[in-house]
Amino acid sequence: ILNVEQSPQSLHVQEGDSTNFTCSFPSSNFYALHWYRWETAKSPEALFVMTLNGDEKKKGRISATLNTKEGYSYLYIKGSQPEDSATYLCAYYGGSQGNLIFGKGTKLSVKP
Amino acid sequence: DVKVTQSSRYLVKRTGEKVFLECVQDMDHENMFWYRQDPGLGLRLIYFSYDVKMKEKGDIPEGYSVSREKKERFSLILESASTNQTSMYLCASRTGQSYEQYFGPGTRLTVT
């Protein structure tokens, strides 16, 4: 059974704090790792699709790294803002299996 | 912009009723998916479809069926709704060439 783990489950930070969370996934048969942001009452929105070991992607204050050999990815948010409050999902695509396998998400709350 | 729409944002049904959840995408995507999301369990795949009239069971297909008569539309059917099917239902689509999935806004179904 393929498992994708995310930690922590939830996180409460103050505005301006930097934060990071982890996604671990199977290191075999790796094709891609996705990060999504899911705000309340909205559709999950794709942040990054990462395919290469050592990949680092950035979108504004949010960045992500990927280690396919050891099977983990980190998502970093620099200087968190209240609008960053959302659930962050990672999803592993193993190719042979054909579908995304989602972690349970990390729920981030940023207090003004 | 890819758009995935779902027929209802909120739905309340009685136990035993037949329930239809509709999903439409406007980008000619081959692949469409139905997930449910429950607290502490993450996104779980119910059914998916690679093409018109094709369907495949996901991880939790029991109590559900699907229909894909047209490429843009993928329906999830609860033949006889039960209280344990109270959940948030998300539809998604993607092309056959890309890993990235696009999600609808979700339908929060309550079965009483």
With beta carbons under 8 A apart, name residues in chain A contacting B99. 31-32, 34, 49, 51, 93, 100
Best mutation target, B101, B102, B108, to test chain A (most A CBs within 10 A):
B101
pLDDT in tens, B25-73: 999 999 999 999 998 888 999 999 999 999 999 989 999 999 999 999 9
Strand partners, A89: A36
Q: Where are the beta strands (DSSP E) in chain A?
A: 5-7, 10-14, 19-24, 32-38, 45-50, 56-59, 62-67, 72-77, 86-93, 100-102, 106-111
Taking 80 as the threshold, does the pLDDT of residue B1 lie above it?
no
Contacts of residue B61, Cβ cutoff 8 Å, sequence gap at least 6: B46, B47
Taking 70 as the threshold, does the pLDDT of residue B19 lie above it?
yes
Tell me which residue has tokens 């891609």: A32
Identify residue B69 by its one-letter amino acid code: E
Q: What is the pLDDT of residue A95?
A: 66
Q: Could you tell me the mean pLDDT of each successive run of 10 residues in chain A, 112 residues long?
A: 89 96 91 93 92 94 96 97 96 76 95 94
Average pLDDT over residues B10-18: 97
pLDDT in tens, B62-109: 999 999 999 999 999 999 999 999 999 999 999 877 778 899 999 999
Q: How far is B49 from chain A (nearest CA, A)?
A: 11
